[in-house]
């Protein structure tokens, strides 16, 4: 036995849900009369919307409203009526219309009062791509300004705490400093040495390839020595520390902030700057120069290996050329930047940790921000230092 499915149109479906809602405007009478009839309920909502849209022109203020044919009314229908004839006029009709049941009068009054008190919906603001770009640039500038002010203030607070702890040995946290030196310095030796060794080998290989065209392959030794003593060793080490140590500082302090451990430290009458920030700053100030020295030695070792394999420059000859052509001042100029980089990396890592709001997402966002800010400032300071060295003739 075949079963046939019968589908109703939306208007027919609406009409089957109780009495159909009607909305007729009688233009023959003077003034025009709007006849409201049927069930103005949620079941007929779509049908009522189509009928209201079919009126096209707005209803005249002098038009009469007749509710004599209205059989049912709920909140949805009352809202449509209020939108059609206005909140103030709906209130007047609800109080003066005799044909409305008391329940419908009360419902119309309540809905009209609620819609009259609600603020008008503002039209959507049209944005152009130019205004969006300028808005994003402005927000980025304000964010940069706030970060600079916060970093400068945190730097002053750290220096103040450090100065106050120098003459008070009871505040020294030697165990915490030694533990941080192990984590930030000793544990980072393998990755720093391996990375700089490979970079030194690459630079020596590229230098030998290019300088061979000019018959100056012997100067590959000077290229490797100058680049690592002045720039590459300290810069690569700082970038590694920014990615490895600054993120660790932010995650550690941020997790303590999220778990309210920092609030507990303050409740015990202790200073988080003394307990959490100073050990990390001092540890990185000690570890960074040592790692930079290891990076210098590893980079030149990688260059010496490539020179011995491709240019037949023995290690003895490499050291002899290094001693003759490269002065100790290049080593001093390179190693002098290590404490400054260490101070900046430690400050940013700790500051971003204190900015964590308390959620895991905030910890991740500020950890990423600390790495980005640290690398940016390290490269910026290195560029400014290079310009300063050049102007001073160093």
Identify the three-state secondary structure at position 63: coil
Rounded Cα distance between 261 and 276, Å, is 11
Which of these, 181, 180, 350, 179, lies nearest to 251 by C-alpha position? 350
At 61 the pLDDT is: 67
Q: Which of 239, 245, 246, 225 is nearest to 334 (CA)?
A: 225
Q: Give the pLDDT confidence score for residue 56 in this predicted structure.
A: 57
**Residues listed for the chain:** 394
pLDDT in tens, 81-122: 888 777 777 777 777 776 677 787 788 888 888 877 766 666
CA–CA dist 161, 314 (Å, integer): 52
Q: Looking at residues 309-323, what average pLDDT do you find?
A: 86
pLDDT digits (tens, 9 = 90+) for 31-48: 777 778 788 888 888 888
* Nearest to 226, CA basis, from 115, 321, 306, 157: 321
Give the rounded percent of residues in the chain with a pLDDT score beyond 70. 91
CA atoms within 13 A on the CB side of 364: 3
3-state secondary structure of 9: coil
Distance of CA 74 to the CA centre of its chain: 47
Q: Domains of the chain, with CATH numbers?
A: 15-114 (3.30.750), 168-392 (no CATH)
Question: What is the rounded distance in angstroms from the CA atom of residue 203 to the CA atom of residue 299?
Answer: 9
Q: List, for residues 167-224, the tens digit of each pLDDT value.
A: 887 778 888 899 999 988 899 999 999 999 999 999 999 888 888 888 788 888 888 9
- Cα torsion through 31, 77, 112, 119, rounded to 10: -110
Cα–Cα distance between 388 and 390 in angstroms, integer? 5
How far is C-alpha 47 from the chain's CA centre? 47
Greater confidence (14 vs 85) lies with 85
Name the DSSP letter for residue 31: S
């Amino acid at each position: 036995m075949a079963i046939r499915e019968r589908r109703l149109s939306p208007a027919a479906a609406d009409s089957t849900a109780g009495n159909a809602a009607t909305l007729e405007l009688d233009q023959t009478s003077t003034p025009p009369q709007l006849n409201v009839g049927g069930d103005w309920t949620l079941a007929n909502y779509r049908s009522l919307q189509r009928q209201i849209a079919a009126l096209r022109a707005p209803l005249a203020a002098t038009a009469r409203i007749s509710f004599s044919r209205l059989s049912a009314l709920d909140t949805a229908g009352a809202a449509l009526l209020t939108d059609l004839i206005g909140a103030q006029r709906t209130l007047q009709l609800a109080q003066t219309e005799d044909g409305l049941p008391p329940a419908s009068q009360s419902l119309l009054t309540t809905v009209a009062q609620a819609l009259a008190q609600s603020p008008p919906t503002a039209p959507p603001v049209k944005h152009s791509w130019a205004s969006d770009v300028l808005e994003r640039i402005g927000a980025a500038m304000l964010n940069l300004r706030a970060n600079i002010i916060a970093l400068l203030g945190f730097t002053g607070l750290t220096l103040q705490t450090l100065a106050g702890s120098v003459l008070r040995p009871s505040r020294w946290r030697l165990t915490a400093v030694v533990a941080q030196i192990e984590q930030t310095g000793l544990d980072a030796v393998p990755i720093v040495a391996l990375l700089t060794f490979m970079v030194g080998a690459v630079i020596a290989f590229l230098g030998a390839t290019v300088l061979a065209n000019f018959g100056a392959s012997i100067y590959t030794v000077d290229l490797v020595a100058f680049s690592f003593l002045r720039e590459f060793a300290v810069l690569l080490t700082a970038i590694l520390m920014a990615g490895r140590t600054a993120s660790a500082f932010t995650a550690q302090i941020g997790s303590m902030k999220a778990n309210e451990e920092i609030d507990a430290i303050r409740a015990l009458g202790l200073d988080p700057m003394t307990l959490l920030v100073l050990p990390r700053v001092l540890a990185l100030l000690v570890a960074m120069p040592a790692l930079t020295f290891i990076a210098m030695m590893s980079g030149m070792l990688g260059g010496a290996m490539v020179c011995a394999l491709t240019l037949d420059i023995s290690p003895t000859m490499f050291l002899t050329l290094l001693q003759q052509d490269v002065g100790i001042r290049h080593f001093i100029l390179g190693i002098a930047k290590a404490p400054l980089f260490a101070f900046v990396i430690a400050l940013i890592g700790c500051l971003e940790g204190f900015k964590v709001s308390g959620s895991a997402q905030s910890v991740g966002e500020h950890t990423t921000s600390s790495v980005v800010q640290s690398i940016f400032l390290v490269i910026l300071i290195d560029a400014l230092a290079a310009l300063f060295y050049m102007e001073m003739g160093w």
